[in-house]
């Protein structure tokens, strides 16, 4: 019997967005879905606090992040995908029809 994936949601209150860390419990291979890059509109400053929380959870669980998946174009937040790619070497993927957006 195949084990169910482990799914950890991360809610970003300022953008009302949920990012996910999804992992195979047997192989410990993982993907991050729709990671947020924090941005404060009033100050114009960004941070990686939300992405670092996902990375910390992955490290705590012993997961190797291999993919960052973007499910859609994000008008509600900046993407943390480039940061996670730099930190983990993960590949980033989004549907090819994104060019139409």
So what's the architecture of 6-96 in CATH?
A: 4-Layer Sandwich (3.60)
CA pair distance 70, 56, nearest whole angstrom: 20
**What pLDDT shows up at residue 76?**
58
* Eight-class DSSP state of 28: -
34 φ, ψ (degrees, to nearest 5):
50, 55
The domains of the chain are located at 6-96
Q: Can you give the pLDDT of all 101 residues of the chain as single tens digits?
A: 578 999 999 999 988 889 999 999 999 999 999 999 988 878 988 899 999 999 999 999 999 999 999 987 655 567 899 999 999 999 999 877 666 65
Sign of CA dihedral 38, 39, 40, 44: positive
Q: Is the pTM of this model over 0.85?
A: yes
Of residues 37, 5, 45, the one with CA closest to residue 19:
37
CA pair distance 2, 35, nearest whole angstrom: 27
**What pLDDT shows up at residue 46?**
87
Of residues 26, 101, 79, the one with CA closest to residue 93:
79
CA pair distance 63, 34, nearest whole angstrom: 17
3-state secondary structure of 60: helix
- The first and second tokens of residue 99, run together, are 């060019």
């Amino acid at each position: 019997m195949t084990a169910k994936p482990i799914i950890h949601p991360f809610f970003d209150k300022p953008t009302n967005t949920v990012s996910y860390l999804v992992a195979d419990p047997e192989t410990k291979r993982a993907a991050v879905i729709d990671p947020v890059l924090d941005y404060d509109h009033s100050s114009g400053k960004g941070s990686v606090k939300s992405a670092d929380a996902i990375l910390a959870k992955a490290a705590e669980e012993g997961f190797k992040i291999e993919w960052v998946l973007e499910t859609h174009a994000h008008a509600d937040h900046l993407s943390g995908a480039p940061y996670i790619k730099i930190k983990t070497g993960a590949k980033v993927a989004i549907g090819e029809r994104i060019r139409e957006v």
